[in-house]
Chains A and B, each alone.
Chain A
Amino acid sequence: MLNCYLKGQQEHERPEFIPYAHLRIRTKQKVTVEVLDHLEHLALVDFRDSEGVERLQKAIQFADQLHEVNTDGVEPMDSVLEDRCLYLREDDVTEGNCTEELLKNAREKVEEYFVAPPGNIPLPKLEERETFLKGS
């Protein structure tokens, strides 16, 4: 964290995830191909090359620094806004009726419907994909 800020001040071209030297970061074993494949399915991202996978590995290591903090007996926090009031809106119709504007974003439309492929097209299996992971 502090590391990033300092590096940023030094105007490096890209951020690097470098753990504090004095900490023994308990990182789990290297990210496996199965996990990466699963992630590609879930998030439809493409770990294009070894650099992409390396960056992921380093990012995980960086985040693992959080394990150093003793959180025994501390409630997890979802958001710093947790003490704010959740605003309740009155049940009035105030929006909508902008079909034309919304459809401007659509590449294809049929009579005011958005057009999509027929159901989800499943990501092909690892063996059949043009992905870097195949080589791993």
Chain B
Amino acid sequence: PYKVVGLEIHAQISSNSKLFSGSQVQFAAPPNSLVSFFDASLPGTLPVLNRRCVEAAVMTGLALNCSINKKSLFDRKHYFYADLPAGYQITQQRVPIAVNGSLSYSLCIDNKMSQMVTKTVRIKQIQLEQDSGKSLHDDVRSQTLVDLNRAGVGLMEVVMEPDMCCGEEAAAAVRELQLILQTLGSSQAVMAEGQLRVDANVSVHHPGEPYGVRTEVKNINSIRFLAKAVDYEIERQIEELESGGTILNETRAFDSKLGCTVPMRDKEGKQDYRFMPEPNLPPLILYNARSLPANMNHQQVVNIDWIHERLPDLPSVKRAKLVEQYGILPEHSFTLLNEAGLTEFFEDVIKQTQMKPKKVIGWILNDLLSYLKQHSLTVKESPVSSFLLADLLNRLEKKEISSTAAKQVFAELWKGEGKTPLEIVKEKKLQLIQDQEDLERICQAVMAIKSGNRKVLNKLIGLVQRETQGRSNPVLVKQLLEKKLSE
């Protein structure tokens, strides 16, 4: 059967104040301390649009290849809930700020990083809307506690068409959107702090038949859970239909503990939101270089072209540049961008070392990153700085130490005891025997033994002992040396 997955993503706009009021936007503040009279819906208050939120939405629309609507409208969406004090949400239902875009993302085939395929999902629209407050359910006392700090915070709703077909695709698309938003700065998009919320619309149908009934899945708190929730819901629908049942057009919640979706209460039947134009806000007009009015106050003008010129390099562009500049593989560039701060770390090391980028990348991805993951640390928290790693790699390049010794030094550096690579090398006697005379002596000794001189064998055993700092078994070493010399 064909699996059809669409997404509705709400990204909290990164701004100082709210969409329609001057209250501060901040995570985890004392309850109801970031609430103005407007946010509390007290009579006589009016919405005043925040310019920064408009710019954030335009940036995001441009980054997602959308057409920006030079004239967009605000509407009221009515429903009753304790965390929506006005009884309606101001949104953009008729004419949103941006439409008809696309987002490209990559997937690994068969979990092999080396085979990546690019997919595209169409962006139906991006609209500006208000966030609601937060409800804390107290089942014990049968009441809900309401905190309006979040009420009125600006959101960008990004609607993705049902072009995806499984949890993996949905997760990859959201991850790429997250990176784009963070690069633009329009949203910090941290799912754990509720700055990025995803609802999935899932349905299945047989090829050639019309689309099946879709369900909406909510309460998805991480990208990992998004993949799980979508895949579970697809399975559930297939099983239900194959056993002769039907799918209800309902809203379901994802239960992360049980790994399944369950019907949500409080969502009885189809809602009638009674959309109406927001009477207190005239149309939002945006300009470009051509339509810019001559005498208007700059502060009142949002110029699409001005914003376009100042867009930073998007992740896809950054990756291409990394591949071109440093000769690394595309999948390497994905890993670099996927970890906050890793690209900067990599480039810092490159600046401070003679080692070729193609070799440095191995150390960054195989050694540094795996240590970080093992200890659940971010790049920022790394006990090994780019300076220290560059120093180590330089010594390796200059052949002061062997590759195996370098790994040992790295392990030591990881302990974060403040020692430099040089100090560790000296301490652990890891230097490569570079000295010409030393090596000549060893070679001559080998040749002498070959011609029967046994006393030299003892000298060799001594050298091996030194090399291994006295940790090798002398009897075993003698046996090995004798074996090797007779080859």
Number of interface residues of A (CB under 8 A): 39
Which of under 10, 10 to 19, 20 to 34, or 35 or more describes the interface residues of B? 35 or more
Q: Top 8 A-B pairs ranked by shortest CB distance?
A: A94-B22, A116-B82, A91-B52, A95-B36, A113-B145, A78-B277, A88-B51, A95-B22
Which residues of chain A come closer than 8 Å to B38, judged between CB atoms?
95
Interface status of B458 (Cβ within 8 A of chain A): no
- Choose, from A12-20, A46-54, A79-87, the stretch at the interface: A79-87
Closest to B148 in A: A114
Taking CB atoms and an 8 Å cut-off, the chain A residues in 102-127 that contact chain B are 102-103, 105, 110-120, 122
A122 touches B268 (CB 8 A): yes
| Minimum C-beta distance from A109 to chain B (A) | 9
| Minimum C-beta distance from B175 to chain A (A) | 28
Interface status of B474 (Cβ within 8 A of chain A): no
B31 touches A111 (CB 8 A): yes
| Minimum C-beta distance from A55 to chain B (A) | 20
Which residues of chain B come closer than 8 Å to A44, judged between CB atoms?
80
Question: How many Å lie between the Cα of A35 and that of B49 in the bound state?
Answer: 36
Taking CB atoms and an 8 Å cut-off, the chain B residues in 270-293 that contact chain A are 272, 274, 277, 279, 281-285
25 CB contacts below 8 A, A to B, read A79-B279, A79-B282, A82-B282, A84-B282, A86-B49, A86-B281, A86-B282, A92-B22, A93-B16, A93-B23, A95-B36, A99-B31, A99-B33, A102-B40, A105-B40, A105-B42, A112-B30, A113-B31, A113-B32, A115-B144, A115-B145, A118-B138, A118-B142, A119-B137, A122-B268
Closest to A86 in B: B282
Main DSSP-derived SS at the B contact region = loop
Closest to B53 in A: A91
Provide the B17-46 mask, 1 if CB < 8 A to any CB of A, else 0: 100011110000011111111101010000
Tell me the B residues contacting A by CB distance below 8 Å.
Answer: 15-17, 21-24, 30-38, 40, 42, 48-54, 73, 78, 80-82, 135-139, 142-148, 265-266, 268, 272, 274, 277, 279, 281-285, 299-300, 302
Question: How many Å lie between the Cα of A118 and that of B265 in the bound state?
Answer: 12
Interface status of A90 (Cβ within 8 A of chain B): yes
| Minimum C-beta distance from B118 to chain A (A) | 36
Which residues of chain B come closer than 8 Å to A69, judged between CB atoms?
none
